[in-house]
């Protein structure tokens, strides 16, 4: 007697059987409700939501979405797109390789959350729901209908994870082997499956990369340029659920596979898109945030060598940023400097990086024989020793070197080959201000750090770092000199942080000890730097860059919360670590460590006489 397995019903095929999902209605009715709700949500954004322009964004105009309506429009468009894809509409299958149902639930939830947040904000600010126009009511009902319909859909089994562009060739081989085995198992268990998506030609894949970069620039520019608090909160809701939806659909994995095939084009495209950011700004206000994000991201990427690749927990890393900043400030002609020296920038940058490297070696040599929590405590102590030292070298408690709590002020603007970074310049018909100039310079520094990280990670020493991180005892048994390898990681990470610090000194004009504490509200500091690496994804290039951008942008935009700012920020981190502990853009190895249950189970058939 043979037990035969029955093929489960596909999540992308309309069903007429028993109710599934959280809502007790048939799945095909739920799919229709979700799609219709998405279409009606789009229509509602072209109607007036309130009668007065006192609510920011002017939601009184018919035929032209504004403010939060634009975000609801995006949520409705995603819901409609995934709803049509779940019906198997031709041409949309490429966008949902992992199935559309789970993505439809998340997009519907995002549209619902943004629309209802807007309705509640209007009612609260203007004094009741009586201030709503028909468009507001229609949007609330439409998004609720879409959410109810989406919750009726069945839950899909997780798909195998995509290729990580930061993995080595061996990891790609392991991924392909495991993926092929999972496909064979699924075919045995469920019968025939859909044919794989047709591969795009090379030029089409490059166009996809260009489109992704353009969308990324648009999203970042929109988020950094939100003019009022309600719009930024709505942006966070829409962006969060939108990214989760396209990731659940498998589109992020498909794009990751494409970018892995064209790594150089992807890196060039990313930096071209970032370089275009200052040209999208009408003033220098948001470029200010942009240059600080780049400083924060560059230092986080340097820390990623220490933490992500070598597995060393460093809680005093921001001190190396301070070493580079103080060194550059002392030799750049500041009147507060005890040294009457004015070196050119390239020389001060090399000097700041070199001094930071020396400090890294001095601190690392006696401490890197420690492991785990002991090493973390020692590095935390180093960070505090640096801050207290520069605070006390004021001529009273110690020698007059750093001017104590007043710091080194009036650091002059850079002038490289006659280009004054403190003056406005006209480029391509656009006026570029001071912070835009420094943004472009810091972008060049970030490119250097990315190249160093990438080349180091792919080298022999990079593989030794990974081996030390995974199991130091086993690595040393295989002949790796653990102390030397860790010291190189520590020194290289310190060098990159010092290099970023040389630019920070000129951007901020003044270098003071309180800028380099372990934890305070304004990043960069050691706690936020470590959080950026963990949040973005340890061991990757893009992870810390994205994590640092979020960790700097969100606190800067949540200042209206006052005393509750850190509470809201901490709650968001707790939720993210709960639902995505491997980070936003994880290394595949770490993703498997946290989501081993995602591997499709083996289905065995019993045979008997």
Tell me the pLDDT tens digit for each residue of 37-82: 999 999 999 999 998 888 988 899 899 998 899 999 999 999 999 9
Report yes or no on 5 lying in a domain.
Answer: no
Domain count, the chain: 2
Domain that holds residue 473: 283-594
Q: What one-character DSSP code corresponds to residue 563?
A: G
The tokens for 484 are 């030397």
As a whole number of angstroms, the distance between CA 303 and CA 492 comes to 9
Per-residue tokens: 415:
């002038």
Identify the CATH number of the domain in which residue 584 sits: 1.10.3470
Would you say residue 392 has pLDDT above 60? yes
Same domain, 408 and 512: yes
Same domain, 317 and 391: yes
Please report whether residue 275 resides in a domain.
no
Same domain, 245 and 297: no
- Give residue 556's pLDDT: 77
| Domain boundary, last residue among 237, 256, 275 | 256
- Across residues 383-391, what is the average pLDDT? 89
Q: What is the pLDDT of residue 399?
A: 82
Structure tokens at 233: 């909160």
Q: Report the chain's mean pLDDT, rounded to a whole number.
A: 81
470 and 331 within one domain: yes
Q: Are residues 252 and 293 in the same domain?
A: no
Q: What is the pLDDT of residues 446-486, one digit of tens each?
A: 999 998 888 888 889 989 998 988 888 888 888 888 889 99
Listed residues 208, 241, 256: the one ending a domain: 256
Final residue in a domain of this structure, among 256, 273, 297: 256
Q: CA 592 to CA 349: how far, in whole Å?
A: 40
d(CA 590, CA 530): 16
Position 280 confidence tier, pLDDT thresholds 50, 70, 90 = confident
Same domain? 206 vs 350: no
Same domain? 352 vs 461: yes
Query: Residue 138: pLDDT above 80?
Result: yes
Whether residue 19 is contained in a domain is answered as: no
Query: What's residue 603's pLDDT?
Result: 37
CB neighbour list of residue 272: distance below 8 Å, 6 or more residues apart: 213
Residues 334, 481: one domain?
yes
Cα dist from 481 to 368, 370, 404, 453, whole Å: 12, 14, 41, 21
More confident residue, 148 or 597: 148
With b for 16 or more beta-carbon neighbours within 10 A and e for fewer, the 396-410 pattern comes to eeeeebbbbeebbbe
DSSP-based three-state secondary structure for 567: helix
Residues 6 or more apart in contact with residue 500 via CB below 8 angstroms: 295, 298, 299, 302, 321, 324, 442, 445, 449
The residue count for the chain? 609
Q: Is 332 helix (H, G, I), strand (E, B) or coil?
A: strand
Q: Establish if 542 belongs to a structural domain.
A: yes
Residue 574 lies in a domain: yes
Specify if 179 maps to a domain: no
β-pairing verdict for 419-420 and 430-432:
unpaired
* Choice among 73-77, 154-158, 220-224, 317-321 with the minimum mean pLDDT: 154-158
pLDDT at 188: 43
Query: What six digits make up the tokens of 86?
Result: 């779940």
- Which carries the bigger pLDDT value, residue 523 or residue 86? 86
Q: How far is CA 88 from CA 34, 81, 96, 194, 338, in A?
A: 15, 11, 10, 11, 72
- The Cα 71–Cα 57 span in angstroms is 12
pLDDT tens for each residue of 104-117: 999 999 999 999 99
* 338 and 205 fall within a common domain: no
CA distance 241 to 505: 38
Q: Are residues 332 and 232 in the same domain?
A: no
Q: Please tell me the distance from the alpha carbon of residue 421 to that of residue 432, in angstroms, as a whole number.
A: 10
pLDDT of residue 156: 55
Q: Give the Cα-Cα-Cα angle 477, 478, 479 (nearest 5 degrees).
A: 90
pLDDT more than 70, % of the chain:
84
User: Does residue 44 belong to any structural domain of this protein?
Assistant: yes
Contacts of 258 (CB under 8 A, 6+ apart): 200, 205, 208, 209
Q: Are 246 and 343 members of one domain?
A: no
Give, to the nearest 10 degrees, the angle between helix 460-470 and helix 482-508: 110
Does 171 fall in a domain?
no
Instruction: Tell me the range of 8-17, 178-187, 389-398, 494-503 where mean pLDDT is highest.
Output: 494-503
> What element of type H or E holds 432?
strand 430-432
Residues 231 and 302 in one domain: no
DSSP 17: S
Dihedral of CA atoms 455, 461, 466, 471 in degrees, nearest 10, equals 180
| Helix runs in 305-433, H state only | 318-330, 345-367, 372-392
């Amino acid at each position: 007697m043979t037990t035969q397995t029955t093929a489960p019903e596909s999540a992308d095929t309309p069903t007429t059987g028993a109710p599934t999902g959280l809502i007790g209605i048939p799945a095909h009715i739920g799919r229709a409700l979700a799609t219709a709700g998405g279409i009606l949500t789009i229509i509602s954004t072209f109607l007036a939501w309130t009668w007065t322009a006192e609510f920011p964004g002017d939601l009184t105009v018919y035929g032209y979405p504004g403010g939060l309506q634009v975000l609801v429009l995006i949520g409705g468009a995603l819901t409609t797109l995934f709803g049509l894809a779940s019906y198997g509409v031709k041409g949309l299958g490429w966008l949902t390789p992992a199935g559309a149902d789970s993505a439809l639930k998340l997009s519907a939830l995002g549209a619902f959350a943004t629309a209802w947040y807007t309705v509640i904000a209007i009612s609260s600010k203007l004094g009741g729901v009586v201030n709503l126009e028909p468009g507001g009511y229609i949007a609330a009902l439409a998004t609720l209908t879409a959410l109810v319909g989406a919750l009726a859909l069945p839950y899909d089994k997780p798909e195998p994870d995509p290729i990580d562009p930061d993995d080595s060739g061996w990891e790609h081989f392991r991924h392909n082997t495991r993926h092929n085995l999972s496909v064979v198992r699924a075919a045995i268990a469920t019968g025939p499956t859909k044919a794989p998506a047709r591969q795009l030609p090379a030029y089409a894949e490059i166009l996809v990369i260009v489109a992704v970069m353009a969308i990324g620039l648009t999203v970042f520019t929109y988020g950094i340029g939100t003019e009022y608090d309600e719009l930024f909160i709505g942006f966070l809701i829409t962006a969060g659920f939108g990214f989760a939806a396209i990731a659940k659909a498998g589109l992020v994995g498909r794009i990751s596979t494409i970018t892995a095939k064209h790594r150089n084009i992807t890196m060039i495209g990313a930096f071209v898109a970032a370089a275009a950011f200052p040209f999208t700004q009408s003033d220098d206000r948001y470029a200010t945030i942009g240059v600080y994000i780049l400083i924060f991201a560059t230092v986080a990427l340097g820390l990623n060598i220490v933490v992500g690749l070598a597995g060393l927990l460093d809680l005093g890393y921001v001190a190396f940023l301070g070493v580079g900043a103080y060194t550059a400030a002392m030799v750049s002609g500041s009147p507060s400097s005890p040294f009457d020296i004015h070196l050119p920038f390239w020389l001060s940058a090399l000097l700041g990086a070199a001094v930071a490297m020396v400090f890294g070696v001095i601190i690392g040599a006696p401490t890197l024989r420690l492991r785990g929590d002991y090493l973390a405590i020692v590095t935390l102590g180093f960070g505090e020793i640096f801050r207290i030292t520069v605070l006390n070298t004021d001529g009273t408690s110690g020698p007059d070197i750093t001017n104590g709590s007043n710091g080194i002020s009036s650091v002059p603007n850079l002038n490289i080959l006659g280009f004054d970074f403190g003056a406005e310049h006209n480029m391509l018909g656009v006026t570029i201000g001071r912070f835009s100039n420094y943004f472009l310079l810091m972008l060049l520094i970030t490119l250097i750090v990315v190249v160093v990280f990438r080349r180091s990670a792919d080298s022999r020493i990079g593989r030794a770092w990974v081996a030390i991180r995974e199991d130091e005892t086993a690595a040393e048994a295989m002949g790796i000199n653990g102390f030397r390898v860790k010291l190189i990681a520590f020194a290289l990470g310190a060098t990159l942080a010092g290099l970023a610090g040389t630019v920070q000194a000129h951007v901020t004009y003044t270098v003071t000890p309180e800028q380099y504490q372990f934890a305070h509200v304004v990043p960069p500091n050691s706690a936020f730097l470590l959080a950026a690496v963990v949040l973005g994804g340890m061991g990757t290039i893009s992870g810390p860059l994205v994590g640092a951008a979020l960790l700097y942008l969100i606190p800067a935009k949540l200042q209206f919360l006052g005393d509750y700012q850190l509470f809201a920020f901490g709650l968001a981190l707790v939720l993210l670590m709960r639902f995505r502990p491997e980070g936003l853009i994880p290394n595949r190895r770490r993703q498997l460590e946290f989501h081993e249950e995602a591997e499709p189970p083996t289905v065995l058939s019993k045979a008997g006489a």
